[in-house]
Structures are given as structure tokens and as C-alpha cells.
Amino acid sequence: MREFLRKVVGIDPEKCAPEYRVGYPGKQRTLDLSHNVILYLDDISVSFDGFKALNKLTLAIDAGELRCIIGPNGAGKTTMMDVITGKTRPDSGTAFFGQSIDLTRLSEPEIAHAGIGRKFQKPTIFQQHSVFENLELAMKTDKRVRRSLLARLRDEERDRVADTLRQIRLDTEAERPAGLLARPEAVAGNRHAAGAGAAASAARRTGRRHDRR
Amino acid sequence: MEKSFTLRVLKSLNRKSWLALGLFLAVTLVVVPVLHLLVPPENAFHVSAYAITLFGKIMCYAIVAIAMDLIWGYGGILSLGHGLFFALGGYAFGMYLMRQIGRDGSYQSDLPDFMVFLDWKKLPWYWSGSDSLWWVAFLVIVVPAIVAFIFGYFAFRSRIKGVYFSIITQALTYAAMLLFFRNETGFGGNNGFTDFKRILGYSITSPDMRLVLFGLTALMLAATLVFARWLVTSKFGRVLTAIRDAESRVMFIGYNPLWYKLFAWVISAILCGIAGALYVPQVGIINPSEMSPANSIEIAIWVAVGGRGTLIGPVIGASVVNLAKSWFTVSFPEYWLFFLGLLFILVTLLLPHGLVGLWKTLRQSRGPRT
């Protein structure tokens, strides 16, 4: 995990400054790791029509830590992931990314930009798009409308997608529609390598383990 | 941005498409005017005024169909209220046409006839400036855009999707129709606007004006095609189709679907408004029935018949259905709606990708793929 953070995300957990910027230029947030805690859920409760999916859940994950969440059906694993990634707002409690980013106030795309990625139970890829385009869309960049309209893929971005394609051994399939791949998970599973996520690998890992029950 | 914007727009179409587009413009801007003005009516090659109006009308519909396809075929958002934006553009331009009548109306008043009839003494505030072509051209774009923005912002922010969204758009256009039916709204009520006389002082019924309007519509259609092509081949287009296919994934990789959908939605509404503004002077009338839900559903049928998710499909669909309509409503007027319903059922069952999809299948089955 530390290896992963160092190599792919470019953060050395040991030497890491307690604060650094996440997001893209123009929409950055400060991820404050001064207490070495990257994800902190406190007293989270979520209920759906009276059914308590989460009951006062408290969980803290350190930077660089790998944590797996397991449990029977209906234990609330997915609900927890939903709270962390912004899909569900908790009825009470707080969820912080680092010391300062309040996850309960951000939208899903904002949380994704802060660096928390998510993989679903069902493999989700853009089937109509080519393998290359799947990675292009996932790549970390300014994702606002204006830039999508006017900007072209820069050379270094193209190289990054090509590197990732080689790494996941799909470089020969780059132009094929992703829906035609035999194992679509191969693309979706490597999203973090494409740089969609950043520091919250711990949180993401829990999600991936959990979703592959 | 290494390459210039113009170059990228040029590159979004291949050579064959540019050639086809050039041919289309040559026919509409040169051949048709020559055949209309210079060839005598008894000659077989004469293009009649009826044909020009019919094809002008169909080109307006084709623009609407492309606009519909942008949000339905590419964005996955089925709107059953696009007739509203078309009618708003039409009404905006209709205000100018009403003012151009001047004192030639049946009451010889400066006010449009229906206002005299209602015993109004002066123009309502929202008619101010309607005697200026530029102001009205501005309204044609801005009014549909504002309505679409406000409605779209709240609908997409509340994450209303699929059939619920379609039903709400239908309710929206229906409500607008009821509003415009009222005389007090100040848009001619039931009868709408008609009996136009001139544009910029030139008679609207003259052959020259007819050809100018026809040519403008052809230019607008060509521009819409190029613009739409550029849009769907840009990264924006890829994000839009990604939203159509897997919206939640798009959100979790950091795109906010709200702004993408809203942008496509507003662009679509603006294109409809422009088409409406070109339609009204050619057809000579605009009334609230343009906002009826049935009209908006018909737009969806054009796109479905032609082929969703392609740009030429909607153009073909709008042309085929409307040519069939003008033939049917003359030959078998009472059966047209049955035919339209049948067409929709058949296309949905047998041709999920429309006529364009049928063409592609036929070509593939005939020979080895190239």
C-alpha cells in the first residue's frame, strides 16, 4: 500500500507533508493529514424509512493503512460507502477526509476530485466508448464543461493513457469498444492507475474488497 | 490547445461529409433559386413556390430533429416538450412580423389587430423593442435558452430522469399552450399570429423573400449539422454519451452531470428556437397548437424513424415522415394519425436504430466489411 502511494500517486506517507492540495487547478482543496488520519467517520447514522442501515458508526483509517470491511448482507457496508462517496447524506454524524474536508457537504464529483474513488459491485464501464476513451474520461484533469468543450488531449496526457494501457495489457485493444472486451473489469479495476483517485486508497481498497463479496 | 479551433471544427467531418454538405448548399442556394425564378412554370424543371415552402418547412423540422437527437440520442434525455422551444422562437419572431404589418391590418391601427379587438390602448411591456429585427433575433435565442435553463436546472439538479422527465416536459409544454391560448397573455390567443406582410419592408410573399428564407434555413441546417458534429466528437460529447450509458460512474470519476446535461439541453432549446423563427415566416402562421404535446411527440418520432445517436438520421427521419405527412394529409387525411402510430410501433419493434441502422445492416450483409 505504501509502495502504491509512493509510486502511483506520488505521495510518500512517511515523508508526506501534513498538508497537500488535491483536485485540479482552480478547484483545489487542502487535504490535511497532520494527525495521520485520512478518513474519519464519527457517529454516523443513516435510516431509510425507519430502517436503520447505519447505527452510530465510528471508523478511523490512517494514511497508508489498508482496511477491509466485511459483513453479512444488510450490514450496511454499501451504505457506508455511499456516505463516504457522497451518494447518501447521513442523518447524523460527521465524515471527514483528512482533518478538514467535510465529506457530508460535498457532491459526488467533488469527492471524486478530492481523491476518493469508487468501484461498483457490478462492473461499470462505458461500453460504447473505446478502451482508450474509457481511460481518457477517467483521467485526472479539469472536468468542467468549458474545458471538455475546448480542450484537446495534451501529449503528456496521451502518453499517460498509453502507459496505463500497456500496464493493464490492453494497448492492442485501445480502439475497440470497451463493451466488446471479454473481461470488462480489467478496465474498470485499473481506474486508479489512470489517476482518477489519489490519496484515499485506503478508503477505496475497503470499497473494492467489500464489493467483491 | 495546440491546433486552432477552426481547424478542429474542419476536422470533425471527413471529406465525404464536407462534399455532401457542399452539394446540399449548392442545390439549395443556387440550383433551386435558378429553377424557381428563371425556369418558366410550365417547364417540368420549374420548382414551385409550394415545393420551396414545403422543403423550407422540412429543413426547419430537420434542425429541430437534430436538436432533439443531441439530448435524446446522445444524452439519453427524452424530451416530449421540445415543441415549446420551437414555438417560443416562432412567437418571438412572430412579434416582429406582427409589428411589420404596421397600419395595413384590418383596423388600420399601429397595434396588431388582436390587441385592437381586445380594446388595448398600447403595447404590453414585453412587446417593446419588437419592431427591431436585431432585438427580436436576440429574443429568439435568449427566451428559449432562459426557459430551458430554469426548467433544466431544477429538473437535473433534482435528478429527475427517464420517463418522469419526459412526462414533466410534456406537462410544461401543455401548460404553456394553455397560457398562450388565453387572450390576456398578449400573443393573439387562439388564433396566434398570422397575416404577415413583410420583413425589413420587403414583401414576405415575393419570390425573392421566399428564396432568401429558404436559403437562410438551408444555411442554418448546414451550420447546425457542423456544430452538432463538432459537439459530439469533442470530449464534451464523449462525457454526454457516458452520462447516457452510466451516469453514476460519470459522477464518481468526477464529472458533474448537471452542467453537462444542462448545457446540451439549453443548446438544444436554442436550436429549436432558431428553427421556429425560420419556420414562422415561411408557413405564415404561429398559434398555440404548436405547443401541443402531440407535436412534441412527433419530433421524437422523426428522430426514432431516422436513427437516434447519428446526426444524419434525424434529418432523414424528419424529411421522410413530413413528406409522407404532406402526401397522406392530402390523399387520405383521416388515416394520417393511424399511419403515424403504426410507423412508430413498427420502427420501435423492427428498426431500433432507425433507417440509418437499416442502411448499415443492409450494407454489411451485402459484402465483406471494408
Residues A81 and A160 placed together within one structural domain of the fold? no
Residues A102 and A135 in one domain: no
Mutate to test the interface with B, among A146, A149, A154, A192 (most CBs of B within 10 A): A149
For residue B256, which residues of chain A lie inside 8 Å, CB to CB? 107, 109, 143-144
Is the residue at B366 inside a domain? no
> Smallest Cα–Cα separation from B211: which of B96, B335, B49, B3?
B49
How would you classify the pairing of strands B202-203 and B193-194?
A: unpaired
In angstroms, what separates the C-alpha of B357 from chain A's closest C-alpha? 16
Nearest Cβ partner for A152 among B2, B252, B253: B2
pLDDT at A195: 37
- Partner residue opposite A112 with nearest CB, options B1, B2, B252: B252
Q: Is B246 on the interface with A (CB under 8 A)?
A: yes
First to last CA, chain A: 21
Instruction: Give the pLDDT score at A198.
Output: 32
Give the residue with greater pLDDT, B87 vs A111. Answer: B87
pLDDT for the residue A179: 84
What number is the average pLDDT over the span B272-286?
Answer: 96
Q: Do B241 and A126 touch (CB under 8 A)?
A: yes
Give burial (CB, 10 Å; 0-12/13-18/19+) of A83.
Answer: buried
Cβ B130 vs Cβ B136: under 8 Å: yes
Asked, for residue B139, whether it belongs to a domain, the answer is yes
Q: What pLDDT was estimated at residue A203?
A: 36
Note down the domain range covering B19.
Answer: 5-295
* pLDDT at residue B10, rounded to an integer: 79
CB contact under 8 A, B253 and A126: no
Contacting residues of A for B266, CB less than 8 Å apart: none
Q: What are phi and psi of B130, to 5 degrees?
A: -75, -5
For the four alpha carbons of A105, A135, B11 and B31, in that order, the dihedral sign comes to: negative
Q: Are residues A23 and A49 in the same domain?
A: yes
Res B363 pLDDT > 90: no
Same structural domain for residues A186 and A204?
Answer: no
What pLDDT shows up at residue B333?
86
Residue B116 lies in a domain: yes
Q: What is the pLDDT of residue A180?
A: 84
What CATH number has the domain bearing residue A37?
A: 3.40.50.300
A 144-173 residues inside an 8 A Cβ radius of B: 144-145, 148-153
How many domains does chain A fold into? 2
Co-location of A40 and A145 in the same domain: no
pLDDT score of A182: 63
First to last CA, chain B: 34
Task: Please check whether residues A38 and A73 belong to one and the same domain.
Answer: yes
CB contact under 8 A, A148 and B246: no
Chain B residues whose CB is inside 8 A of the A123 CB are: none
* Residue A141 C-alpha, separation from nearest chain B C-alpha, in angstroms: 9
A47 falls within a domain:
yes
Residue A109 has its nearest CB partner, among B234, B246, B255, at B255
In chain A, residues with a C-beta closer than 8 Å to the C-beta of B245 are: 126-129
Gap between the Cα atoms of A26 and B235, Å rounded: 20
Nearest to A126 among B2, B3, B245 (CB): B245
Q: Name the 3-class secondary structure at A28.
A: coil
Most A-contacting residue of B9, B229, B232, B249 (CB-CB within 10 A), to test interface: B249
Cβ contact (<8 Å) for B253 and A151? Answer: no
Residues A110 and A179 in one domain: no
Distance from CA of B8 to the nearest CA of A (A): 9
CB contact under 8 A, A129 and B252: no
Q: Is residue B162 part of a domain?
A: yes
Q: Chain B contacts of A127, Cβ < 8 Å? A: 245
Give the side-chain half-sphere CA count within 13 A for A43. Answer: 3
**Residues above pLDDT 90, as percent of chain B:** 68
Helices and strands: H and E segment counts in chain A: 8, 6
B-chain residue closest to A194, CA distance = B253
Q: Are B355 and B306 in contact (CB under 8 A)?
A: yes
- The whole-number average pLDDT for the span B219-245 is 94
pLDDT band at B3 (very low <50, low <70, confident <90, very high): low
CA distance A156 to chain B (A): 13
> Can you give the pTM of this predicted structure?
0.86
Predicted confidence (pLDDT) per residue in B197-213, tens digit: 999 989 998 999 999 99
Alpha carbon separation from A154 to A144, B1, B58 (Å, rounded): 16, 8, 41
Domain identity same for A69 and A152: no
**Which comes out higher in pLDDT, residue B44 or A70?**
A70
Give backbone dihedrals phi and psi of A101, rounded to 5 degrees, phi first. -90, 115
Secondary structure of chain B in the HEC alphabet? CCCCHHHHHHHCCCHHHHHHHHHHHHHHHHHHHHHHHCCCCCCCCCCCHHHHHHHHHHHHHHHHHHHHHHHHHHCCCCCCCHHHHHHHHHHHHHHHHHHHHHHHCCCCCCCCHHHHHCCCCCCCHHHCCCCCHHHHHHHHHHHHHHHHHHHHHHHHHCCCCHHHHHHHHHHHHHHHHHHHHCHHHCCCHHHCEECCCEECCEECCCHHHHHHHHHHHHHHHHHHHHHHHHHHHCHHHHHHHHHHHCHHHHHHCCCCHHHHHHHHHHHHHHHHHHHHHHHHHHHCEECHHHHCHHHHHHHHHHHHHHCCCCCHHHHHHHHHHHHHHHHHHHHCHHHHHHHHHHHHHHHHHHCCCHHHHHHHHHHHHHCCCC
Query: Is residue B21 a contact partner of residue B27, using CB atoms and an 8 Å limit?
Result: no
Whether B113 maps to a domain, the answer reads yes
Each residue's pLDDT expressed in tens, for chain A with a length of 213 residues: 556 555 555 555 555 555 656 665 556 777 888 888 889 999 999 999 888 899 999 999 998 888 999 999 888 998 999 999 999 999 999 999 988 889 998 889 988 888 888 887 777 788 889 999 999 998 888 888 988 888 788 888 889 999 999 998 888 888 888 888 865 444 444 444 433 333 333 333 333 333 333
Domain of A147?
131-194
pLDDT at B150 over 50: yes
Residue that the C-alpha cell 495489457 belongs to: A169
Query: Residues A39, A64: one domain?
Result: yes
Residue B289 lies in a domain: yes
Predicted pLDDT of residue A23: 64
What's the mean per-residue pLDDT of chain B?
91
Whether B313 is covered by a domain: the verdict is no
Among candidates A109, A128, A152 on the partner chain, residue whose Cβ is nearest the Cβ of B245: A128
Question: What are the tens digits of pLDDT across the range B303-356?
Answer: 999 999 899 999 999 999 999 999 998 888 888 889 888 988 998 898 888 999
User: Is residue B67 included in any domain, yes or no?
Assistant: yes
| pLDDT at res. B305 | 93
Task: Classify the C-alpha dihedral B242-B244-B245-B251 as positive or negative.
Answer: positive
According to DSSP, the residues that pair with A31 across neighbouring strands are A20
Out of B2, B5, B254, the one facing A143 most closely (by C-beta) is B254
Report the domain count for chain B.
1
Regarding whether A136 and A89 lie in a shared domain, the answer is no
**CA B172 – CA B164 distance, rounded (Å):** 12
Annotate A172-193 with b (16+ C-beta within 10 A) or e (fewer): ebbeebbeebeebebbbbbbbb
The pLDDT-based confidence of B47 (bands split at 50, 70, 90) is confident
* Residue-level pLDDT at A190: 44
CB of B97 within 8 A of CB of B199? yes
Helix B235-245 to helix B257-283 angle (10° resolution) is 100
**3-class DSSP state of A101:** strand
- Rounded to 10 degrees, the C-alpha dihedral B295/B299/B301/B302 comes to 130
On whether both A6 and A40 belong to a single domain, the answer is yes
Q: By mean pLDDT, which of A117-121, B45-49, B360-364 is the weakest?
A: A117-121
Judged by average pLDDT, the poorest of B37-46, B77-86, B97-106, B225-234 is B37-46
For chain A positions 68-127, those within 8 Å of chain B (CB to CB) are: 85, 87, 107-109, 112-113, 117-118, 120, 124-127
| ipTM for the whole complex | 0.81
A157 shares a domain with A86: no
Contact between B226 and B5 under an 8 Å Cβ cutoff? The reply is: no
CA distance B92 to B142: 10
Question: Which among B234, B238, B249 has CB closest to A133?
Answer: B238
